[in-house]
Amino acid sequence: MSACAAGETIWSDIFPGARHTVKCLQPAVENTEITLDLGVAQRRRTVWRLDGGAGSDENLCWLLARGYHVLAKGLSGLRAAALARQVTRWDAYAPDKWLGEVTPPVDYGRPVRVFVLRKRKGEVLHYGYYVSTLAFSSKKAYLAHYEARGGAEVEQFRDDKDGLHMEARRKRSFTGQTGYILLTDLAHNLLTDFARRGLADSALAELGPKRIVRDLLAFPGLVTWGENELRVDLLSQKQFSQELVMCLLRYLAEPLSGR
């Protein structure tokens, strides 16, 4: 089993506010490699799905040279418009959206396919382009797989802001804020582990981080330490009390195998 499970944070850092996303990709990838112990064989089975903020030619060539697959949106809007003029056939993808394929605009060091998306907003046409090393049966499949990428900005950042009150706590020093982010990651991963091993297959399985913190971890009760024993008494009249007891028993009984 890898060092991280689904839903857990692999790595976090903070950068000066003026630093563009395109400059953050390479340190993120390098630290991910360390955390997940990604050797050459593992990289060949790993796909980076990137939004336009990280999709520069330099980043894509760097990823491909390290052996990864990519499914990435290109960084340049001007290039997307220029590539759109090279499309000889547009295929409908959705209402007001069309896809076309073009020759790669640069040598990425490995074979890739490049697709252009044309979409209409009101009376204006907008363009984007996508670069991929993967093999799918249709243009639609490429865009569908791109759009299915992880939504960390929604799934994790929003949950951490709501459940762990990340947004409400700020440190004036850069070092202090870095430490706070790492503590938030630790809390996030502990909540993820508790939800996966303790709450799964129970009436509480659908609770998100905010409700776990607010409705479960803030439960009124009494903790008593004895000889080789920890006793936890919960207020029985409280909603979820019986379900939480069963979940806690299961969580404490299950070993952290492979972690």
**Three-state secondary-structure class, residue 47:** strand
Pairing relationship of beta strands 97-102 and 91-94 according to DSSP bridges: antiparallel
Sorted by sequence, the CB contacts under 8 Å of residue 2 that are 6+ apart come out as: 36, 37
Give the pLDDT of residue 212.
85
Cβ proximity of 243 and 225 under 8 Å? no
Please list, in sequence order, all residues whose beta carbon lies within 8 angstroms of the beta carbon of residue 255, skipping any fewer than 6 positions away. none
114, 126 Cβ separation under 8 angstroms: no
Taking the C-alpha atoms of residue 230 and residue 125, their distance in angstroms, rounded to an integer, is: 64
Q: Which of 165, 156, 182 is nearest to 8 (CA)?
A: 156
Q: What is the pLDDT of residue 75?
A: 93
C-beta separation of 50 from 70 below 8 A: yes
Residues of the chain with pLDDT under 50: 1-3, 257-259
- If phi over 0 gives left and psi between -120 and 50 gives alpha, with beta otherwise, what is residue 165? left
Are the C-beta atoms of 70 and 60 separated by less than 8 Å?
yes
User: Measured between alpha carbons, how far is 142 from 134 in angstroms, rounded to an integer?
Assistant: 8
Check residue 258 and give its pLDDT: 45
Helix (H) or strand (E) holding 194: helix 174-194
